[in-house]
Amino acid sequence: MRGGRGVAAPGPADRLAPDHIPAAIGGAAAQPAGAASLAPPLRGRAAAGELLPWERLRRAGANVAQAARLFWRASPGGTLLIAALTLASALMPLFTMKLLQRLIDVVVGGLRDGRSPASLAGPLGLQLGLLLAVMTGSHVVYQLQRTLQKSLGDEVTLRLNLDILEKARRVDYASFDDSKFHDRLQRAQREASVRPAMLVQVIADLGWNVVVVLSFSILVAGAHWSIPAALALGAVPASWVAVRFGAQRFQVLNWHTPEGRRMTYLSGLVTDPRAAKEIRLLGLTDYLVRQYRSLFDKVHAEEMRVERRRAVRGIQSEATRVVAYLYAFAALIWAIFTGAISLGAFMVFSQVVTRTQNLLDTVFRSGADLFEQSIFLSDLFAFLALPEPARPAGRSPAPRDASIVAEGVSFAYPSTGKRALERVSFRVRSGEKVAIVGCNGAGKTTLVKLIAGLYAPTRGELRLGGVSAQEIDPVTMSEHLAVTFQDFVQYWLTLRENIGFGHLPSLDDMRAIQEAARRAGAEGIAAQLARGYESRLGNVWEGGHELSQGQWQKLALARAFLRPARLLILDEPTSALDPRAETELMQTFLSLSEGRTTIFISHRIGTARLADRILVMMNGALVEEGSHDDLIARGGEYARLFQLQAQWYT
């Protein structure tokens, strides 16, 4: 092995994420093309929140320590074995150089004494044999070390990604309405995918290089004590450049996270099969690609400003390195002329000086790389440290029935402060069927999200079966209700899984799945597919089947009907159904919801007539409630909405 071992700073290719997005970026709505950069100028960034150098070093050290704990948690034995192999591998170059020195001294001594090659066969054979054994052992140890590093890096990456998924599951649902949360999530996912494996390699390489440098320094100090000191001083400026500009690069990447998420979105629009038809028919591809390129150019320009400054400083730091190298060779020449070292030692030390300087440079660069990798981990550890809502310890008391009581419930989105509900109060008896109607933005879906426990009221109280919704643990809440939202998920999995996800214990219960499909009017879908309920859905897969929006909605309803919950919530359950399917579903609605409290939202006022009671929402407030006939007789908002729709049918 020649030269040092280390991980180079990521280049342009390394900064491309899976979506061909620079890993430097990833985030919320970006500025339009041509707008000024979101990042502050590189000068004076301390005023913009940049940490001071010693604070960055302290944070980097804490991150490295936390990463080391992750490695140990993932595989204590593997971590120890990598350390042992690294030490063994790092001592091999010293043994190699000493054997080379002895080999040369044997040859020079034989020539000086006039000995024949045959008389040197024994000593030369021994030295060559030992040299072959050391070099072979070094190669074997190196390969074992790399294999273990790969295994440990993959294990840590898996654990961190699972930790991220668990954190995303445990944070408050309202976090998903906050663009800053999505910025943090994308940065955490980006770092978890690449940093652990890189950090394992960087730490191992840094340890290897440090041990080799120390052993070589001891060896070459035999010629003159000042040689290793001069080489070390010559490598310091390059290390300073790497640390300084590594920190600046980190700042640039973080400041441009919003642009990156925008680029991810634009890329998805062009490549998503669900959007492809509209994008093509509207001729939007070129426009979206131009937006993508504009955002990329803006971020790239900022990165290149940092890179150009780094290059200038790097050239300047190289002068010190060259002076140190020349001094070391001058000291070696002086040592051989004064008889301090032999010819064999001079030849070996010449190589050692060159390699030591390269290794010192690599040590400092690896240290800078370790610093850069560790500060990038700040995003990951910060995400994993996000606060989680207080949850009841253990299982909370289950609601005694499926009644709902709302008393002065108000809600404002935490990320914007925008009020969505204002002093909403109502009561729903267990087993009652209630419709919620109102114009877009009236607060209907927000209200059912509060009932489902996804949001917590800003003010007021919401009780399910006599228990405060905030005191019900997630498992109990999940068992208590079944929900179908208007923006239901299309799972590109099998038809069976699309229905079975409604109640995981019934995932393999074909009788229950078929019954749920029948109740939702989805049994005909299986009959049309070659593999029935085991058919894969979604045309992104080979042999996958694409469904209409109405068919997807039937599967979403089937999930709700499969779940043995006492509270059924349906958000626009017929929005994608054709008139016949909607009529069939509404005709069987009473039997489908028998024995359950049912809350359903509908823009089609006529379907609200099936409910025992109707809640009318307007601008986040409950303005009317009663039966269809009562509300029509009052001539209020419900009657107005009913007449607006009825005029198209008369």
**Confidence band, pLDDT 50/70/90 cuts, at residue 424:** very high
| pLDDT on residue 302 | 76
Residues 273 and 352 in one domain: yes
461 has pLDDT over 70? yes
Domain count, the chain: 2
Structural domain includes residue 240: yes
Structural domain includes residue 43: no
Residues 448 and 310 in one domain: no
Least confident of 33-47, 185-199, 242-256, 494-508: 33-47
56 has pLDDT over 70? no
Q: Which of 410-419, 572-581, 640-649 has the highest mean pLDDT?
A: 410-419
CATH number at residue 171: 1.20.1560.10
| pLDDT on residue 18 | 32
32 has pLDDT over 90? no
Region 474-503: what's the mean pLDDT? 87
CATH number at residue 466: 3.40.50.300
264 has pLDDT over 50? yes
Distance, CA of 489 to CA of 485 (rounded, Å): 9
Residues 377 and 418 in one domain: no
Residues 354 and 423 in one domain: no
Range 133-138 contact pairs with CB under 8 angstroms and sequence separation of 24 or more: 134/92, 134/95, 134/96, 134/99, 135/92, 135/96, 137/92, 138/1, 138/89, 138/92, 138/93, 138/96
State pLDDT tens for residues 214-228.
888 888 877 778 887
**DSSP string over 454-483:** SS--SEEEEEETTEEGGGS-HHHHHHHEEE
Region 528-548: what's the mean pLDDT? 86
Range of the domain at 585: 404-646
Region 293-317: what's the mean pLDDT? 78
Look at residue 413 and give its three-state secondary structure. Answer: coil
| pLDDT on residue 99 | 81
| pLDDT on residue 9 | 34
Q: Are 452 and 470 in contact (CB under 8 A)?
A: no
Structural domain includes residue 505: yes
State pLDDT tens for residues 320-347.
777 877 887 788 778 878 877 777 777 7
Residues 182 and 285 in one domain: yes
Choice between 4 and 522, residue whose per-residue pLDDT is larger: 522
State pLDDT tens for residues 370-396.
776 776 777 788 888 888 876 655 556
Q: Are 188 and 379 in contact (CB under 8 A)?
A: yes
Q: Are strands 459-464 and 404-412 parallel, antiparallel or unpaired?
A: antiparallel
Q: What's the chain's average pLDDT? A: 78
| pLDDT on residue 427 | 94
Q: Are strands 613-618 and 433-437 parallel, antiparallel or unpaired?
A: parallel
Place of tokens 């550890």: 381
